[in-house]
């Protein structure tokens, strides 16, 4: 790192810490509880990996009980009454609200090229999504998107879009929680996190893009850092800063996860205009922090066909009430708080995890009745993200799927590793290859194909 880069990183960290403290002051929080250490077993704050201690708040909010205590018995009541209540809680307390005055996005096809990926000829389009910044010309937001489709396709094709990076082999690694992304700036790591795994393929074999092409589908990559920086210092820039005209967030304003999900929806807007793409069958995939963005995107935008949610952990598909690996306090710290609404900090300070009015099983339920695939690695190598906590959330969404005439996981018993639960509309598989999305790509693609309308 050059002296200039060190200086810039120090300034970014200082600005992040100042914004984090500003939000704490706004919420009148004097102190947050400390997060867990992920690697140092000698630390008194070492992460818990003892199942006997993992469920201090075992009772989850009932996704089929209205705020007034009345049960939800019909699909109409779910859509008209209960789901809006759940959305409001997530908006206010967890991910933040998308403002009503978010400016429009105009898509520009920067280049169109023909080439090969493996043995399959493809047409690749590189796009820029220009966000209207007439309200604050000092802030510029251009969303980076790439989409490739089979050159010989005779009809519109399904597309799997990954939150990732452009111009990298196996593009799309989310990295470990708290690690610096390739775009959008660095984030301060939590006190210990697992090493990054390979994304996009298993120990050997075709890339995820080639696996998608083998099915006659297309693939896309959207760059989260081009939508919103992955650090607290960037909250006065990017789409969040643009809407706020460079001013700091309010306590219920959207965080980076919701912003990245918004960007994915704008990409879907473009796909609906591209005659090469079957916009009714656009899936979203993301790993680690981008797994969090994936479940948020699919939950909030009913147009997405399905999602592959890889190692999303705390702030994603893992139950917030679980004490295993990363916990609420890690995400509320200054390295990750920007992912969430400011109000989320309350649950690492004066309030507890059990005070959250919603939990991640209801986030997965927001995806219903559409299919969704939840993935994670084994405790050895990926314990930080809590595969069992994600399984429990997937199982907890089951009553909503059943109410809407769909199939749940089929069990509430945590399955042996490498067991694919893919017979229903909610799927789960835990692999043994560490912090990576590679091993479960074939299972997800089989699952998605089965749910092709």
Domain ranges in the chain? Answer: 3-450
Catalytic residue among 20, 338, 361, 435: 435
CA angle 394, 176, 343 (to 5 degrees): 65
| Active-site annotation holds for 432 | no
Q: What is the pLDDT of residues 304-342, one digit of tens each?
A: 999 999 999 999 999 999 999 999 999 999 999 999 999
Instruction: Enumerate residues 6+ apart whose C-beta is below 8 A from 3.
Output: none
Catalytic residue among 226, 288, 310, 360: 288
Q: What is the pLDDT of residues 353-376, one digit of tens each?
A: 999 999 999 999 999 999 999 999
Q: What is the pLDDT of residues 90-143, one digit of tens each?
A: 999 999 999 999 999 999 999 999 999 999 999 999 999 999 999 999 999 999
| Active-site annotation holds for 435 | yes
Q: Which of 249, 326, 322, 310 is nearest to 433 (CA)?
A: 310
Domain 3-450: CATH superfamily is: Alpha/Beta hydrolase fold, catalytic domain (3.40.50.1820)
Q: How far is 252 from 260, CA to CA, in rounded Å?
A: 17
- Give the mean pLDDT of 64-71: 98
Q: Residue 124 CB: number of other CB atoms within 10 A?
A: 18
Please state whether beta strands 120-131 and 142-150 pair in parallel, antiparallel, or not at all (unpaired). antiparallel
The predicted model scores a pTM of 0.93
């Amino acid at each position: 790192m050059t002296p200039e880069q060190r200086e810039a990183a120090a300034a970014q960290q200082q600005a992040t810490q100042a914004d984090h403290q500003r939000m704490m002051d706004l919420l009148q929080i004097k102190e947050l509880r400390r997060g867990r250490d992920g690697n140092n077993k000698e630390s008194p704050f070492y992460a818990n990996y003892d199942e006997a201690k993992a469920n201090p708040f075992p009772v989850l909010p009932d996704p089929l009980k209205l705020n007034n205590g009345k049960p939800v018995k019909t699909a109409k009541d779910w859509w008209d009454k209960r789901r809006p209540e759940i959305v409001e809680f997530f908006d206010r307390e967890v991910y933040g609200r998308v403002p009503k005055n978010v400016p429009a996005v105009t898509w520009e096809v920067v280049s169109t090229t023909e080439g090969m990926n493996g043995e399959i000829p493809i047409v690749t389009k590189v796009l820029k999504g220009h966000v209207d910044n007439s309200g604050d010309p000092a802030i510029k937001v251009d969303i980076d998107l790439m989409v490739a489709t089979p050159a010989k396709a005779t009809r519109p094709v399904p597309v799997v879009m990954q939150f990732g990076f452009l111009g990298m082999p196996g593009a799309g690694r989310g990295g470990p929680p708290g690690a610096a992304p390739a775009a959008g700036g660095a984030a301060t790591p939590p006190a210990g996190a697992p090493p990054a795994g390979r994304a996009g393929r298993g120990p050997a074999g075709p890339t995820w893009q080639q696996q998608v092409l083998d099915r006659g589908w297309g693939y896309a990559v959207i760059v989260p850092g081009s939508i919103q920086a992955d650090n607290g210092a960037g909250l006065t820039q990017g789409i969040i800063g643009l809407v706020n005209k460079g001013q700091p967030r309010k306590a219920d304003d959207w965080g980076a996860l919701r912003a990245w999900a918004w960007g994915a929806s704008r990409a879907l807007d473009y796909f609906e205009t591209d005659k090469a793409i079957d916009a009714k069958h656009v899936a979203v995939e993301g790993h680690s922090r981008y797994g969090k963005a994936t479940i948020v995107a699919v939950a909030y935008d009913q147009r997405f066909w399905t999602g592959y949610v890889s190692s999303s952990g705390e702030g994603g598909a893992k139950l917030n009430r679980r004490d295993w690996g990363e916990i609420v306090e890690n995400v509320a710290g200054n390295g990750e708080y920007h992912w969430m609404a400011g109000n989320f900090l309350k649950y690492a300070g004066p309030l507890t995890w059990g005070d959250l009015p919603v939990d991640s099983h209801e986030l997965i339920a927001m995806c219903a009745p559409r299919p969704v695939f939840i993935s994670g690695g084994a405790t050895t190598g990926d314990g930080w993200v809590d595969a069992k906590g994600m399984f429990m959330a997937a199982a907890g969404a089951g009553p909503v799927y059943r109410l809407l005439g769909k199939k749940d996981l089929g069990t509430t018993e945590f399955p042996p590793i490498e067991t694919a639960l893919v017979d229903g509309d909610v799927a789960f598989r835990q692999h043994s290859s560490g912090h990576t999305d590679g091993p479960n790509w074939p299972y997800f693609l089989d699952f998605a194909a089965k749910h092709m309308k």
